[in-house]
Each structure stands twice: as structure tokens, then as C-alpha cells.
Amino acid sequence: MQLSKYIILICLSLVLTNCGKTNTSKQTGLTINTTAKSLMLGDTLKLSINNPKKLEITGVSYKMNGEPIVNNKVLNSVTLGEKTITAVVNYNGEAQTITKLIKVFNNSIPSYYKYEVVNTYPHDITSYTQGLEFHNGKLYESTGQRGKSKLRRVNFETGEVLKNINLDNAYFGEGLTIMNDKIYQLTWQANRGFVYDVNTFEKLSSFKYGKSKEGWGICNDGKTLYKSDGTEKIWLLNSENLTEQSHIQVYTEKGKIPSLNELEWIDGRIFANIYQKNGVVIINPNTGGVEGVIDFKPLRKLVTQHNELDVLNGIAYHPKRKTIFVTGKHWDKLFEVIIKKQ
């Protein structure tokens, strides 16, 4: 990989080096020792207890994020990011619980993908694009800004709006996804998402967020919904009751990727816009590891330049054409592209 392209990857990451926060008992001095300050996927996690007062320890049990683990655990089937190691130490007929925070990084450098524009289509320059997705050949778009947020179905080739509803002025529209003939649309800070009939746009229900607090981007794999909240986390939502079941943290081998925005599920991977970065990262949904990056910055120069022009945001995969459509906030063009690993 060329140096300049690797710098792009580094700029997308927030490099973290402090990986060993430990709580220490002032009474006993017991702490958890780990293999190293920074661990990578595939490393062996070696655990031991630092016992400066030479207490007679009769037993130790470990957990990682609440799940029991054995010493010398190989970190193969784990998600990346922050992990809390808990040790229950038995000594002198007593038991003490101590913890240590570690971080697990990806074990490979992301690949760099180049793109080729194969078609250019009109796009509504007034749209502050937040979500973009194809369903049955039609493009669905969710837009933001209070008082201007909307949900619409569009003929992508002509830009004609086929159906449109406006959100209440209280809501700032965010991402959308379509599954089982339902549209799931997020709002930003109102702690609420909406569910619509994909054909009529009738509002069927609403749902509240959990620990994620904010709504940014959303996609699905046909069974599970994946939701971003503007951090490095992507939350997995139960498709039946829309509650947050778990989350992954998105990391490279250098650090976390914050500000994850619009999401799209493409061939078993999550493609994510990064807010304020005209780039897209390709994420392994099983681990949170970044496997690839696409720099779409040159596209911004191909649209009409005006005062309200904003960043790239909007990824939609067309399954029949096997191409990706991208646009941005207040862009007057929609680009159809193909990508190839360089």
C-alpha cells in the first residue's frame, strides 16, 4: 500500500495507546496483570494476579465483559474494542473482585479500494441526505434538518420523487433501512425511530433507543438491524421488538473509528460513512474490524459548488446491477460506482 493511502487510514482512526486501566485495592494491593498493554485479534491473553503483600491466594476466576474466560485465552472469536477483565480472588477465607480495562485491536491493515464512476444521475440539491437504500429497483431516501426532514421514494435515473412524506418539525431525520416490507427510519436526538409500510408510507409504529442514545445510520442483514450512534459503536437490534441486544466496536490495527454515520449492508459486510470525512470503511460485522477503506473525496469536486454543500453521506447497493450509489448532503448528483481492491 502506498504511504499516502496508509495516511488516509491513520487519519480515519483515533489511535489509542492507554489500554490498561486497573482498579487496585488499597487494602490488599491486588491487581490484574495482562500479556501486554495492547492486544490484537489472535493474540493470547495471559492473566495473572499481582500480589505485593504475598497473600495466600487459594483461587482465582476470570471473566471478560461478564463471560467466564480461561487463562491463556486465544482472542480469535471475540469482538474488538474495550473489554473489562474481572477477577474474583479468594484469599484467607475472603473474596475480592478486581477489574482491568483492556482494548483489543484488529490484526491487519485495511485494504485500500479504488472506485470507478460508471453513471451519474440527478439528485435533489435541497436534500440533506442521511439514509439511502434500494428496494425493488426504487431508491428510498431519508433526509435531515429540523423542519426539512423527509422520507421519499425516488426514480434514481431521473430524480423524480415518486412518494414523499415530511417529518414533524420536532424531528431531525437520520438513516433508513428496509426489511420485510417495512421502512425503519431513525431520528437524531429524539430517542425515537419510526416504522412505515414500504408501499404506502403509513406509519405503523415507533421505537425508542436504549444505551445508544442517538440515531445516525441503520442497515440490516435480513434478520438483524444494525444501528450507528455517532461513536465507534454499531448496535444490533432485535427485529421483532427493536431492542438493542449487543454492539460491536469498530477498530483498525491502530485504534477506533469514531463518528460512524450512514450504513449499508453489502455482501456480508457493513459499509459506513464517517461523518465529516468523505470516506467509507468496510467493516466485518462479526468482529468490528475494518477490512477496507474507500476515499470518495474527489467526487465532491464533481458536484455543483454552493454555500450549503456538505460532506459525502449516502450509500446504497443495487443488488441486480451489483453497483454502489453514493451522494452527499446538498449534492446535485448521485454517482453509480464500482469498487476494486487495489
- pLDDT at residue 198 tops 60: yes
Model confidence at 27, in pLDDT bands (50, 70, 90)? confident
User: By mean pLDDT, which of 19-28, 84-93, 112-121, 233-242 is the weakest?
Assistant: 19-28
Q: How far apart are CA 340 and CA 107, in angstroms?
A: 22
Q: Looking at residue 22, what is its pLDDT?
A: 58
Contacts of 65 (CB under 8 A, 6+ apart): 83, 84
Q: Which CATH architecture has domain 18-105?
A: Sandwich (2.60)
Q: What pLDDT digit, counting tens, does each position of 129-177 carry?
A: 999 999 999 999 999 888 899 999 999 999 999 999 999 999 999 999 9
Q: Looking at residue 1, what is its pLDDT?
A: 44
What ranges do the domains of the chain cover?
Answer: 18-105, 111-341
CA distances from 79 to 152, 286, 295, 297 (A): 36, 7, 26, 30
Q: Looking at residue 15, what is its pLDDT?
A: 41
**DSSP bridge pairs for 312:** 328
Q: How far apart are CA 61 and CA 2, in angstroms?
A: 46
Plot region of 34 (φ>0 → left; ψ -120 to 50 → alpha; else → beta):
beta
Superfamily for the 111-341 domain:
TolB, C-terminal domain (2.120.10.30)
SS3 (DSSP) at 241: coil
Q: Strands 192-197 and 182-187, how do they pair? A: antiparallel
Count of Cβ atoms closer than 10 Å to residue 101 Cβ: 15
Q: Cell numbers 483492556 correspond to what residue?
A: 102
SS3 (DSSP) at 315: strand
- Scored b (16 or more CB within 10 A) or e, 63-74 reads ebeeeebeeebe
Rounded CA Rg of the chain: 23
CA dihedral sign of residues 205, 217, 329, 179:
negative
Model confidence at 276, in pLDDT bands (50, 70, 90)? confident
Q: Which three cell numbers stand for residue 107?
A: 490484526
Q: Cell numbers 412505515 correspond to what residue?
A: 196
Give the residue ranges of DSSP H helices in the chain: 3-12
Q: Cell numbers 438483524 correspond to what residue?
A: 224
**Please, is 117 exposed, middle or buried when counting C-beta atoms within 10 Å of its C-beta (0-12, 13-18, 19+)?**
middle
Contacts of 214 (CB under 8 A, 6+ apart): 188, 189, 191, 229, 230
Check if the beta carbon of residue 232 is closer than 8 Å to that of residue 12.
no
Mean pLDDT of all residues belonging to the chain: 91
Q: What pLDDT digit, counting tens, does each position of 283-333 carry?
A: 999 999 999 999 999 999 999 999 998 989 999 999 999 999 999 999 999
- pLDDT at residue 7 tops 50: no
